[in-house]
A and B are shown apart, each in its own frame.
Chain A
Amino acid sequence: MSKMPNPRIEKPLNPRPTAVVVGASSGIGAALARLLGQKGYRLALLSRRKDRLDQLCAEINQAAGERIAYAYPHDVTEFDQVPPLFQRILHDFQTIDLFIYNSGVMFSLGPAEYDFQKDLETYKVNLLGGVAWLNQAAALFHSQSRGQIVGIGSIAGDRGRIGNPPYHAAKAGFSTYLESLRNRLAPDGVHVLTVKPGYVQTDLLPAEHPPLPVATPEKTAEAIYRAIRRRKQVLYTPGWWRLIMLIVIHAPSFIFRRMKF
Chain B
Amino acid sequence: MAAKSTLPLQRLVRLENFGHSIDRPAYLYRPTHASQINDLFTLAEKTGSQIALRGAGRSYGDAALAGGGIVLDFQRMNRILDWNPETGIITVEPGVTIEQLWRYIIEDGWWSPVMPGTMFPTIGGCLGANIHGKNNWRQGTLGEHVISFTALLPNGEEKVCTPTRNKDLFYGIISGMGLLGVFTSITLQMKKIYSGDLEVDAWAEPNLERMLRATDEHKEEDYIVGWVDTTVGGRALGRGQMHSARYLHEGEDPQPVRTMRPMHQDLPDTIMGLVPKSMVWRFLKLGINNPGAWAGNTAKYLMNQTIGNHKRYRQSLVAFTFLLDYVPNWEYSYGRQGLIQYQSFLPFETAHDTYQEILQRSQKRGLPSYLGVMKRHRPDQFLFSHAVDGFSLALDFKVRRREHFVQLMDDLNQIVLAGNGRFYFAKDSTLTPDVVQQYLGDGTVRKFKRLKASADPAHILQSDLYRRCFGGL
Contacts and interface: CB of A to CB of B under 8 A. Distances in A.
A92 interface: yes
A12 interface: yes
Contact of A13 (B5, B12, B14, B429): B429
A189 to B, nearest CB: 12
Contacts of A143: 12-14, 25
Interface stretch (B42-50, B209-217, B385-393, B416-424): B42-50
Interface string B388-408: 000000000001001101100
Contacts of B197: none
B464 interface: yes
A84 B7 CA distance: 8
Interface string B27-52: 00000000000000000000111100
Interface string B309-348: 0000000000000000000000000000000100000000
Nearest to A87: B6
Interface in A91-109: 91-96
Given A13-B399, A14-B405, A91 B12 contact: no
Contacts of A2: 1
Interface in A2-47: 2, 6, 8-14
B85 interface: no
A13 B68 contact: no
Q: Which of B48, B61, B429 has most chain A Cβ within 10 Å?
A: B48
Contact of B61 (A12, A83, A90, A139): A12
Contacts of A96: 25
Contact of A95 (B10, B25, B472): B25
B275 interface: no
Interface stretch (B16-24, B246-254, B351-359): B16-24
A1 interface: yes
B156 interface: no
A19 to B, nearest CB: 15
Interface in B415-439: 429-430, 432
B6 A94 contact: no
A2 B429 CA distance: 30
Interface residues of A, number: 31
B14 to A, nearest CB: 4
B459 to A, nearest CB: 11
A88 interface: yes
Contacts of B145: none
B3 A88 contact: yes
B61 A87 contact: no
B67 interface: yes
Interface string B451-467: 00000000000001001
Contact of A1 (B3, B6, B472): B3
Contact of B409 (A13, A85, A93, A95): A13
Contacts of B272: none
Contact of A139 (B12, B21, B409): B12
A223 interface: no
B403 A14 contact: yes
A202 interface: no
B340 A91 contact: no
Given A9-B468, A14-B402, A87-B68, A144 B6 contact: no
A183 B402 CA distance: 32
A90 B12 CA distance: 11
A204 to B, nearest CB: 28
Contacts of A145: 14
Contacts of B402: 13-14
B468 A12 contact: yes
Contact of B67 (A11, A94, A139): A94
Q: Which of A1, A81, A85, A90 has most chain B Cβ within 10 Å?
A: A90
A12 B429 contact: yes
B395 to A, nearest CB: 14
A13 B22 CA distance: 7
A236 B14 CA distance: 33
Contact of B24 (A1, A83, A88, A94): A94
A147 to B, nearest CB: 10
B307 interface: no
Contacts, number: 98
Interface residue range, chain B:
35 or more
A188 to B, nearest CB: 10
B24 A95 contact: yes
Interface in B55-82: 61-62, 67-69
Q: Which of B25, B49, B409, B430 has most chain A Cβ within 10 Å?
A: B25
B7 A87 contact: yes
A140 interface: yes
A12 B2 contact: no
Contacts of A93: 67-68
B398 to A, nearest CB: 12
B65 to A, nearest CB: 8
B276 interface: no
Given A12-B62, A93-B68, A139 B9 contact: yes
A6 B472 CA distance: 10
B24 A8 contact: no
Given A91-B50, A143-B13, A12 B22 contact: yes
B432 A13 contact: no
Contacts of A146: 14
Interface string B140-182: 0000000000000000000000000000000000000000000
B6 A84 contact: yes
Nearest to A94: B67
Contacts of B403: 14
Contacts of A89: 68
A136 interface: yes
B292 interface: no
Contacts of B268: none
Contact of B406 (A8, A11, A88, A139): A11
Interface in B351-375: none
Contacts of A11: 406
Contacts of A12: 22, 61-62, 429, 464, 468
A90 B62 contact: no
18 contacts: A6-B467, A8-B468, A9-B67, A12-B464, A13-B21, A13-B406, A14-B405, A84-B6, A85-B2, A87-B6, A88-B2, A88-B3, A90-B68, A93-B67, A95-B68, A136-B9, A140-B12, A143-B14
Interface of A: 1-2, 6, 8-14, 81, 83-85, 87-96, 136, 139-140, 143-146
